[in-house]
Amino acid sequence: MSTTNEGEENRHNAIELGVPISSSSFTSSSSDAMKMKNKKNPFGEEKNQSFPEMLMHFLTKTIPSLMSPFQVKLLSVAILVAFFGLFSFVMESANSNAQTYAVIIDAGSTGSRVHVFRFKRASGARVLKDEIFHAIKPGLKAYASDPLEAANTLEPLMETAMKHVPEKLRSSTPLTLRATAGLRLLPEGPEAASALLEASKVKVGEYGFRLDDEYVSILDGMYEGAYGWIAVNYLLRKLSGSVKATKTVAVADLGGGSTQIMYAIGNRDEVNRAPEGYVLPLEGYDVYTKSFKGFGIMAARAKILTQNLDAGEEGWQSHPCAAKGFRGGCTEKCYGLEPGEGYSAIGRDNGGDFEQCVDAALMAMEKDSMECEVEPCSFAGAWTTKRTTPLYGMSYFYERAQAAKAVHWPNSETKAVKITPSDYKNAGKRVCQTHVDSILKEYPDAEEDHFEYLCLDLAYIYALLTKGYGLKDKEPLYLVDKIDYKGQPVEAAWALGDAIAVMNAFLVE
Which residues does the annotation mark as catalytic?
224
Question: Phi, psi (5° rounding) for residue 70?
Answer: -65, -40
Which residues contribute to the annotated binding site for ATP? 256-260
Which residues contribute to the annotated binding site? 256-260
| DSSP structure class, residue 61 | I
For the beta sheet containing 258-265, the strands, ordered from the edge strand earlier in sequence to the opposite edge, are: 279-282, 285-293, 258-265, 250-254, 391-395, 477-479, 417-419
* CA pair distance 381, 487, nearest whole angstrom: 42
User: Closest Cα to residue 453, out of 397, 507, 400?
Assistant: 400
DSSP E strands: which ranges in 377-416? 391-395
**Cβ–Cβ under 8 Å, residues 219 and 179:** yes
* CA pair distance 395, 108, nearest whole angstrom: 12
For the beta sheet containing 327-330, the strands, ordered from the edge strand earlier in sequence to the opposite edge, are: 310-311, 317-318, 343-346, 327-330
Q: Map residue 454 onto helix, strand or coil.
A: helix
* CA pair distance 237, 244, nearest whole angstrom: 12
* CA pair distance 121, 103, nearest whole angstrom: 18
* CA pair distance 183, 139, nearest whole angstrom: 10
* CA pair distance 424, 454, nearest whole angstrom: 11
**Cβ–Cβ under 8 Å, residues 182 and 110:** yes
Would strands 285-293 and 327-330 be described as parallel, antiparallel, or unpaired? unpaired
Q: Map residue 228 onto helix, strand or coil.
A: helix
